[in-house]
Amino acid sequence: MKFAATLEYDGTNFSGFQRQKNATTIQQMIEESLKKITDRKVTINYSGRTDAGVHAISQVFDFETEIIRDNLSWIKGINSNLPKTIAVKKIFQVPEDFDSRFSAIKRSYAYVIYNSKNKPLFFDKYCHWVTNKIDILSMKNQSQMFLGKHDFSSFRSKNCNSKNPIKTIFDINIEEQDKFIIVNVVANAFLQNMVRIMVGTLIDIAKSEHNLSIKDVLEKLDRNSAGRTAPAKGLFFLGPQYNEDSKLKTMETNLLNRFKI
């Protein structure tokens, strides 16, 4: 049998999602929990590889097992062996050909900015604090240049090992909620640090600290032409979207409803 689960986590104290040597990761925590409740080694697939310090609202992972137990027992069993900063929310039995990563057709992220002279005392671990005034209209106008299919070589980490820099942005919108600015991005897939560089460049442009437009930066195909990489702590993986025939299709559909301050 194959199961898929939705997961949320605070990535502050983890070295990203993917298992690594000599570092604590989300994948490691989940697989160790599954081993404890199944008494077997379990390897999971997952929908998106988040970097160190990045959070998630609805990460999806799947695993195979011959053990029969009801969904609530799976959730309670896995969560009982996880730290308080990681939690399984829902679990589904899925077809054998389902793959959290390869079955996904879209992925969504939200980046949270706090634009104020005053420090965001209670949200410091979950947003990027910008003290200089951001021109929100400029930011919104520039962001629309990301829409469509582009080569995102200018918006990838220099350590990114993806063979294909061409990605499609289906939607990008920027919303203000008091002093918070939330940038929502939906794409077929993302390169390493892509959203953080996109947001960092938008902020630099909106503060008049960058002379090129987003269109110009895209055309340069050069990381040095883009702006700063925004800090990891402001980034939230909202989750993947699947085809109509998938049970996970209807998890959450509205980005702003998925992330609420």
Q: How far apart are CA 113 and CA 4, in angstroms?
A: 32
CB-CB neighbours of 29 under 10 Å: 20
Question: Is 70 marked active-site?
Answer: no
Residue with tokens 């200089």: 132
Exactly one of 39, 51, 70, 204 is catalytic; name it: 51
**Residues facing residue 2 across a β-bridge:** 64, 94
Residue 160 is classified by DSSP as -
CB-CB neighbours of 47 under 10 Å: 27
Angle at 116 between CA 256 and CA 254, to 5 degrees: 5
Q: How far apart are CA 107 and CA 47, in angstroms?
A: 8
Positions marked catalytic: 51
